[in-house]
Structure formats: C-alpha cells, structure tokens
Amino acid sequence: MSPLSSYRRLLALAGPAYVLVAFLGRLPLAMSQLGTLLLVSTATGSYGAGGAAAGSLAVANAVGSPVAAAVADRRGQRPVVLVQSLLGAVGLVVLVHLAASGVGEAGLVAVAAVTGLALPQVGPLARVRWRPITAGDGHQRRLVDAAFSYEGAADEASFVLGPALVGVVAVAVSPSGALVIAAAVLAVFGCAFGLHRTAALTGASAAGGAVVRRSGRLVTGAFVVLLLAQAAIGVLFGSSQTGATVLTTAAGQPGLAGLVHATLGIGSVTAGLATAFLPERVPHERRWLVAAVALAVLSVPLLLVDTVASAFLAVLLLGFAVAPYMIAVFTLGERIVPPARVGAALTLLAAATGVGYALGSSLAGRLSDSHGHTAAFAVTVTTTCLAALLALTQHRRVIRARLAVADDVDAPAVAAA
C-alpha cells in the first residue's frame, strides 16, 4: 500500500469530520502557552514572569494529562475529554480576567497552573484511536505508521497555526483576545472530539481486538529514554519561543513572536508528512537517531540570529528535523509498552514535552532578562546536542525493548493457534 493510499484509507475509515475535529481540538493547547507568555509578560512587564506562568501551565498539564489518559484507557475517552475541555476553557477565561484586574505574578502563575491541569492533550488521545479504527484491515501496521506520521504533522501544524493566531490576534487586538479565542475553540472542538463516534472505541476496546496481556510495566529504562528525548523537544519549543519573543519585542514588533515560532512548523509539517514515504525496512530507531543529529546541526544557526528576518530563516530550517524526530519517538513509545497502556504512554510523552517547555521557557526567560535573545537560543542549541547524544548512546536499548514487547504480544496468539 502506497503512502497516498494509506492516507486515503485512513480518511475513509475515520471520516473527514474526525480529522477536522481532532486537529482543531489540539489548537488551544498550542495557543495557550505562547498566549500565557505574552499575556503575563505584558501585564507584569517581566519576561521571567511570563515564562514562569507559561511554564507552570505546561508543568501542570504534564502532571494532569497522564492521569486523565490512564482513566481514559480504562473507561474510555468521552467523559474525560468532555470534562477537561469545559474546565480548561473556563480556566483560560479566568486567567484573562485576573490579568486585566492587575493580579500579581504569583496569582497569575497559580491560575495558569490550575488551567494547565485541566487542558486536554488531544494529540496523544487521537493517536490512541487509530489502532482500533484500523482494526481488521489487512494493512493495519502500514496504516498505523501512516497515521502516526499524519499525527506528527498535525501536531506541528497546530504549533504553526496556534502561535500564528496568537500573534495575529495580539497585534490586532491584544494577548488576552488570543486566549479568549483559545477558550472558545476548546469549548467547541474539544467537546466535539469527545463526542465523536471514535471515542467509543477507546477504553476496554483500545487494543483493537488483539490478543494481548492486559498488564505489564509502563515505565522501563527504554521508556525513560524516550521521555528524556521528548522533553528535549519541549525545551526546544520553550527556549526558541522565548528567544523569538525577546528578539521581536526588542525590534518593536512583539506580535511577530508567534509568527516567527510558527515557521518552525512549516518545514516540520512538510517533513512529517514525508516520513510516510520512508520504506518500512528503515526502523524507527534509526529514524530517531538521524533526526536527533539533524536537530543538533540545524539548531546552530540560531546563535547567529540578530534580526527578525534571520530568525524566520533559522527557525524554518530547524523545523525540518522536528516532526521526523517526534514521529519516531511517539511511534517507538507506542511499540515498547503493553498495548493496554498505550494511552497513558503517549500522554506521558506529550507531558514530557510540557515539562521540557516549562524548563526551556523559564530558563530562557531568566537568561534573556539579562543577556538577550542569544542566551535563549543558546539553551535551544545545548538541548539539541544533548538530544543527539542521548539517541547515539541509547537507541540500542530502545531496539531491545521494542523486540521484547513484540514477542510478549505475539506469544499468546501463537500459543492459541
């Protein structure tokens, strides 16, 4: 089955409405982080405060979303997503109101954390649905690979459109207007994602009818490696976003921060969709390794950025390695854990991104207050080099874990036959 045929088959199985709702439902999370950064920085006059608020939102989301996913693995996604969507929308509106009321940094950081705790991680939850959606199809493995390639590209597209919307609304209206729009999108499309018919395929049916063991360790040495790998992407997002904010503000064009960061996703979406064209004989461990090295190499030009135009170019080039890296990490995460715990695993990986974002935005924000945008971008470069080192030294551990889980899943079916 060709990649284009795989994409067409996925669209036929899930329906166009599902693809649209699942994409729009993930936009508010992408908007909320940069929106919070701009809102709090503007309200308090401190990039450090803005980074702390955005970071607290991300950390709280990293804590709350795996718990919600674990509940969804057992009881299904519908009730979990509905509750999270409504609470998250309310939290964003409250944050805007308090910022306009002159509440201090501590209060804004606390409210941002409560809001982050409620925001749903639609991307990982959407990934969980593809295996049961494709159950019974003779090309299921190829379809799931194509689905993960699409989901990686969709995540990156959300990080293009989300920050771009924040930037446009911040220029045309205000940062608070951007968060109000994010709340409205979450209330409508987050709930629509929860109500979609595919939500009924999750929970007890998440294994897609396969013969699997319903227990097993989730957190292993190999999975911790993947958590660290994904946290590095979060640091990249947080530090590069902060660096772009500092640079554009110094240039007198703070609203361009979202647009600069959005260019990261242009190359990333293109590369992410293209990964479906890679032959199946190229293992995901090798794809992860190559993408990690590419991240390190393509991040170096950030240290030379001194104008908004050069920032656009450097961030665009870096994006070509981001989606292939994330697709490989998420696919490996789905393959090295027991099938009944995939939802929790994928959400933990997304949560690691949030933790990394918090670390990256907070550290880069503090450094930028005294050393400018170059210090923030230096955090990005250092992190990508560490990510490459991690992949170089640990990819064999991940290979062994994937093979072990494959044997564990196949053994009961072979014995029954």
Please check the confidence at residue 410 and state whether its pLDDT lies above 60.
Answer: no
CATH architecture, domain 3-410: Up-down Bundle (1.20)
Mean pLDDT in residue range 87-111? 90
Please check the confidence at residue 277 and state whether its pLDDT lies above 90.
Answer: no
Please check the confidence at residue 416 and state whether its pLDDT lies above 50.
Answer: no
Taking only the tens place, the pLDDT of each residue in 303-350 is 998 888 898 999 999 989 998 999 899 989 888 888 777 878 888 888
Mean pLDDT in residue range 144-167? 81
Please report the pLDDT score of residue 213 as a whole number.
Answer: 43
Mean pLDDT in residue range 234-238? 90
Q: List the domain boundaries for the chain.
A: 3-410
Please report the pLDDT score of residue 215 as a whole number.
Answer: 53
Percentage of residues in the chain having pLDDT higher than 70 = 93
Taking only the tens place, the pLDDT of each residue in 33-61 is 888 988 888 888 777 788 888 878 888 88
Mean pLDDT in residue range 160-184? 83
Confidence of residue 101 (pLDDT cuts 50, 70, 90): confident
Please check the confidence at residue 160 and state whether its pLDDT lies above 90.
Answer: no
Please report the pLDDT score of residue 381 as a whole number.
Answer: 95
Percentage of residues in the chain having pLDDT higher than 90 = 33
Please report the pLDDT score of residue 65 as a whole number.
Answer: 86
Please check the confidence at residue 209 and state whether its pLDDT lies above 50.
Answer: no
Please check the confidence at residue 206 and state whether its pLDDT lies above 70.
Answer: no
Task: Give the C-alpha separation, 182 to 25, whole Å.
Answer: 10
Mean pLDDT in residue range 373-393? 94
The pTM is what? 0.76
Please report the pLDDT score of residue 406 as a whole number.
Answer: 67
